[in-house]
Structure 1
């Protein structure tokens, strides 16, 4: 089954995901924990990683079931078709969110242009090209994800 991206009303991500789960639709609403500061208190809150977006795993023929739930606005489209997300991409997000805040990476023997495979952290097993080597950090290009990663050198 495909994963689709559903656009929700602002601040309705968790409610829509919960209600879709209740009617038997598999959902994934990635959450990050952060500390919010108010004038009188601090509170740890879970916020959606992607504002106004959740992922649903549903058969093509059942896609309209999503709209039975208040707060679900529309599907995200790409090139005229509903955007699909591969299972591996969902797993990468899950691994990234479950990774510890800090982890050890050693790259001291590498130089600009080298192609490596990350051995720890949230992007484990992803291949990367070293774009920049600085005194305190490396800049890596994660080709498969189309993003740039800054890695601090150990001990700095």
Structure 2
């Protein structure tokens, strides 16, 4: 079975994932904990890593079952076909979110546009292209995963 990407209404990711699980559909909505501040307090809240996206694992013939859930808009398409996410990419995301250790990466001897091999951390053995370097962070493009990684400098 393949992993597909379902596009949801804004701020409906957790609700859609809950509905999908109730229907017996294997789904994954990666969540990260962020500190949010209101005028009277600060609070840690879990927010989706990818806004408006939920990953579902279904057989090709069962793809229409997700539209029974309120909040599902459509599938994400790539080159005219539903986008398929490889199982190892889902595992990398899970591994990265479960890793509590911080990894120091120094790219001071590199230039924007250079291609580097990440040697440690959850994205080890991935090739990244340096897109931006500032005094506070690095922006790396992980083409194999189709994402952009922003790393803060400590």
Same fold at TM > 0.5: yes
Question: Into which bin does the TM-score normalised by the smaller protein fall?
Answer: 0.7 to 0.9
- Structure 1: stretches of 5+ with no match in the other structure: none
**Could you tell me how far apart the structure 2 residues matched to 1:51 and 1:132 are?**
23
Q: CA deviation at 1:144?
A: 2.7
Instruction: List aligned pairs for 1:5-154, cutoff 5 A.
Output: 5-100=5-100, 102-105=102-105, 117-128=117-128, 142-145=142-145
Q: CA deviation at 1:10?
A: 1.1
TM-score under structure 1 normalisation? Answer: 0.77
**Could you tell me how far apart the structure 2 residues matched to 1:131 and 1:73 are?**
32
Instruction: Indicate the SS of the match to 1:120.
Output: coil
1:30-74 CA deviation, whole Å, 9 max, x = no partner?
A: 111101100111110000111111000000100011011111111
In structure 2, the CA distance between the partners of 1:13 and 1:129, relative to structure 1 (3 Å rule), is closer
- Structure 2: stretches of 5+ with no match in the other structure: none
In structure 2, the CA distance between the partners of 1:32 and 1:140, relative to structure 1 (3 Å rule), is closer
Larger radius of gyration between Structure 1 and Structure 2: 1
**Could you tell me how far apart the structure 1 residues matched to 2:27 and 2:8 are?**
13
Q: CA deviation at 1:148?
A: 6.1
1:62-94 CA deviation, whole Å, 9 max, x = no partner?
A: 001101111111111112111111112112222
Q: CA deviation at 1:97?
A: 1.9
TM-score under structure 2 normalisation? Answer: 0.78
RMSD: 3.1
